[in-house]
Amino acid sequence: MIHLTISRIAIWLLAIVMIIFGIIHFTNPNEMLNYVPLYLPNGIMWVYLVGIAFILAALAFISNRYVSLAGYLLAALLVAFVLLIHIPNHLNSGDPTMRQLALVNALKDTAIAGFAMYIASIAKHQRLTESDR
């Protein structure tokens, strides 16, 4: 029982973080636009789309519905960020501070992706309420 409670708290913590990241995409879209690769058309749309994706994943984790799908999709999105944004920024930035920030973001997104995959893999064993067991 205590293991289940601790794991639910961990999942809820991730959900809260993802909601905050999602809100940031809506409250500071122009700043987030700086991270959208130039080869993607209509960059601001991608900022809002990612914000929606973060919030939807969080809601799936909180409601305990579609957790596996949400976890795997969130992980895929974050791995895409690492490969398409953070690593190129780390390799190509002339500013040492920006290189370090890109590396930190790559590590953060990799860790969150790993946790999201773990959540997805154990989703069928997790239950939010006693009645769901």
Report the pLDDT value the prediction gives residue 124, as an integer from 0 to 100.
Answer: 77
13-22, 34-43, 94-103: range with lowest mean pLDDT: 34-43
Q: How far apart are CA 124 and CA 101, in angstroms?
A: 36
19-28, 32-41, 107-116: range with lowest mean pLDDT: 32-41
pTM of the model: 0.88
State mean pLDDT over 65-93: 96
Report the pLDDT value the prediction gives residue 131, as an integer from 0 to 100.
Answer: 44
pLDDT band for 129, please (50, 70, 90 cuts). very low
Q: CA torsion 77→92→31→49, rounded to 10°?
A: -20
Contact present, 46 and 74 (Cβ < 8 Å): no
CB count within 10 Å of CB 55 equals 19
Mean pLDDT of the chain: 91
Tell me which of 128 and 78 has the higher pLDDT. Answer: 78
